[in-house]
Structure 1
Amino acid sequence: MKKIGFLSFGHWSNHPAYQARTAGDTLLQSIDLAVAAEEIGLDGAYFRVHHFAAQLASPFPLLSAIGAKTSRIEIGTGVIDMRYENPLYMVEDAGAADLISGGRLQLGISRGSPEQVIDGWRYFGYEPAAGETDADMGRRKALQFLEHLKGVGFAQPNPYPMFLNPPGLLRLEPHSAGLRDRIWWGAASDATAIWAAENGMYLQSSTLKFDESGKPFHIQQAEQIRAYKEAWKKAGHTREPRVSVSRSIFALMNDRDRQYFGQDTRSADKFGYIESDRRAVFGKSYAGEPDQLIKELAKDEAIQEADTLLLTIPNTLGVDYNVHVLSSILEHVAPGLGWR
């Protein structure tokens, strides 16, 4: 059995072919899609976070709304760029969202990726410390976030408070017990996957990673996952590790599917640069008849290594069409691969 969720980038544009033309459209449709996804038996609703773009950027109001309208589905991010975040305020936001959802938050965070503007985190008031890179700053903030999620008091109470304090140092509120164990790290390299395991975070591996061997994407990603699992075991964590991978998979069930995805040009891995000095490998998309997809996906080593698969969706095409896309995978592809 494999958990299957969707991952939305939350695009919107005033385009005549789009159902999501405004930010309001995207937010409200995201809630509706999560509700519908739960109804058809999907396991997770995840959302990408991008700043300075016509995409979803502030996840906690959205996650809280979804948590209030659903009862079973996991809700999460993939991923929040920690370079932009105040870790303590984020502890409060995440705690509230997790309590509203009844403990279903699966929060993906990362040091971030290239953004729409140069050093966008500077506009949010953040600067790396002396000797730090922006990536170092993101990882430092992540560790602060993890530490304060534990709910241990650290702040000296005021001797003349507005309200009566409990004894001892004060922690951030609201505290959601167990959330610390449901934080995921988006890793683009083997080294950061190992770092995530050492720090007790689950692993999110996307449709790209830094090219570290020249091998096909799914093999490099599978090797990354195996390194992560070994590091988790060495760290001595008592709970089981979790790993998610993202894929673009479209079953061609009708003429509309064939029109949208039948001529997909991303049917092979691509190599390129996402940072000026770092070569990356981008995983291919899968589009075909269900039987063809089953044969191709059975060869994807990284999917086999992961316990969770996140299906990237074309959110601009609306809720109904995306329910069709997800249902097609659940009904016609997943059983043939033993995922359902």
Structure 2
Amino acid sequence: MKKIGFLSFGHWANHPSYQARTASDTLLQSIDLSVAAEEIGLDGAYFRVHHFAQQLASPFPLLVAIGAKTKQIEIGTGVIDMRYENPMYMVEDAGAADLISEGRLQLGISRGSPEQVIDGWRYFGYGTEEGETDADMGRKKSMEFLERLNGVGFAMPNPNPMFPNPPGLLRLEPYSAGLRDRIWWGAASNATAVWAAEHGMNLQSSTLKYDENGKPFHIQQAEQIRLYKEAWKKAGHQREPRVAVSRSIFALINDQDRSYFGHEGRGTDSFGYIEQDRRAVFGKSYAAEPQKLIAELSQDEAIKEADTLLLTIPNTLGVEYNVHVLSTILKYIAPELGWR
């Protein structure tokens, strides 16, 4: 059994073929799609965060709106770039979003990836210290965020406050118990997956990772997941970890599907560079008639290792078509592969 969710990058553009032409379109359609996804039995609604782009950026207003209009579906991110964040304020936002959704927040964070703007986090008022890289800064902020989520008081109270204080040091409010266990780390390498396990975070692994041995993408990703699980066990955490992988999967059952994605099924893994000298491997998209798709996906080792599958969706094609895409996976693919 696997949890199955969707992952949206939240694109919009004034293009004649797009249903999402404005930021308002994308935000409102994201809410509507999440409600519809819950109705068809999907387990999660996740959203990517990018800055300085016509894509979803500030996640918490959207997550709160979805949390208020749904009852069961998990809501989350995949992922928030911590280089841009104020960890203290983020604790308050996350706590509020989790309480409104009654404990359904699944928050994916990472140290960040290349963005639209050179050192875009500097425009947000953040900078690195001497000898520190931006990746170091992102991980340091993540550690502060995790520490404050524990709900332990750390701030000295004012002896003459406006309102009475509880005894002892004060924590950030609102505090949501259990949220610390629902933080995920987006890992692009084996080493950062191990690091995430050591710090008690769940693992998100996307459709790309650093190429560490030249093997096919799904093999490298499965190796990453196994290393993560070994590190988790070694760290002695008291709960079971969760692992999510992302895939682009399209079941071709009508002419519209074939028109949009028929060419995707001919794709293969690809290799390239996403930053400086770091070579990466990009996983292929899956697109075929159901029986062929089932045969191909049954060979994907990383999906077998994960407990959660996030289906990347073409959000610009609108809510109705994306409900169709997700429904076909649930109807034709998931039962045959034992995901449901």
Residues 1:224 and 2:224 aligned together? yes
Report Cα offsets for 1:154-210 as digits up to 9, x if no partner: 000011111111111000000000000000000000000000000000000000000
Count matched residues: 340
Q: Normalising to structure 2: TM-score of the pair? A: 0.99
Residues in 2 aligned to 1:265 and 1:210: alpha-carbon distance in whole angstroms: 23
Aligned to 2:102: 102
Which residue pairs with 1:247 in the alignment?
247
Aligned position for 1:144: 144
Structure 1: runs of 5 or more not aligned: none
For residue 302 of structure 1, what is the amino acid of its counterpart? Answer: A
Q: In structure 1, what is the Cα distance between the partners aligned to 2:219 and 2:266?
A: 18
C-alpha distance in 2, partners of 1:127/1:283?
A: 33
| Structure 2 counterpart of 1:282 | 282
Cα RMSD after superposing both structures: 0.6
| Shift of residue 129, structure 1, vs aligned partner | 1.5
How does the TM-score come out when normalised to structure 1?
0.99
Report how far residue 266 of structure 1 moved: 6.3
Q: Secondary structure at the match of 2:94?
A: helix
3-state SS of 1:294 partner: helix
CA displacement 1:314-340 (0-9 Å, x = unmatched): 000000000000000000011110011
Per-residue deviation, residues 296-329 of structure 1 (Å, max 9, x unmatched)? 0000000000000000000000000000000000
Q: Which runs of 5+ in 2 are unaligned?
A: none
Query: Which residue does the alignment assign to 1:3?
Result: 3
Distance, in Å, in 2 between the alignment partners of 1:300 and 1:57 is 31
Compared with structure 1, are the counterparts of its residues 266 and 205 closer, same or farther at alpha carbon in structure 2 (3 Å cutoff)?
farther
User: 1:126 aligns to what SS in structure 2?
Assistant: coil
3-state secondary structure, aligned to 1:264: helix
Following the alignment from structure 2 to structure 1, what is the Cα–Cα distance between the partners of residues 266 and 58?
Answer: 30
Report the secondary structure of 2:336's partner residue: helix
Q: Does 1:311 align with 2:314?
A: no
CA distance in 2, matches of 1:107, 1:133: 24
SS in 2 for 1:106: strand
Q: CA deviation at 1:276?
A: 1.2
**Which secondary structure does the structure 1 equivalent of 2:159 belong to?**
coil
Counterpart mapping for 1:112-151 below 5 A? 112-151=112-151
Partner letter of residue 306 of structure 1? Answer: A
Distance, in Å, in 2 between the alignment partners of 1:70 and 1:191 is 37
Give the fraction of aligned pairs with identical amino acids, expressed as a percent: 84
In the TM superposition, what is the alpha-carbon distance from 1:149 to its structure 2 partner? 0.2
CA distance in 2, matches of 1:128, 1:212: 28
Question: Who is 1:333 aligned against?
Answer: 333
SS in 1 for 2:21: coil
- One-letter code aligned to 1:304: K
Q: Does 1:295 align with 2:286?
A: no
> Residue 113 of structure 1 aligns to which amino acid in structure 2?
S
Q: Distance in 2 between matches of 1:322 and 1:223?
A: 31
Moved over 3 A (4+): none
The aligned residue for residue 166 of structure 1 is 166
SS for the counterpart of 2:157 is coil
Q: For residue 270 of structure 2, what is the aligned residue in structure 1?
A: 270
Q: Describe the shift of the 1:49–1:327 C-alpha distance in structure 2 as closer, same or farther (beyond 3 A).
A: same
How many angstroms does 1:128 deviate by? 1.1
Q: Distance in 1 between matches of 2:305 and 2:204?
A: 12
Counterpart CA distance in 2 for 1:272 and 1:22 is: 31
Deviation at 1:264, TM superposition (A): 1.9
Q: Give me the whole-angstrom Cα distance separating, in 1, the residues matched to 2:129 and 2:188.
A: 23
Q: Distance in 2 between matches of 1:214 and 1:121?
A: 32
Q: Structure 1 residue 265: deviation in Å?
A: 6.8
| Residue 71 in structure 1 maps to residue 61 in structure 2 | no
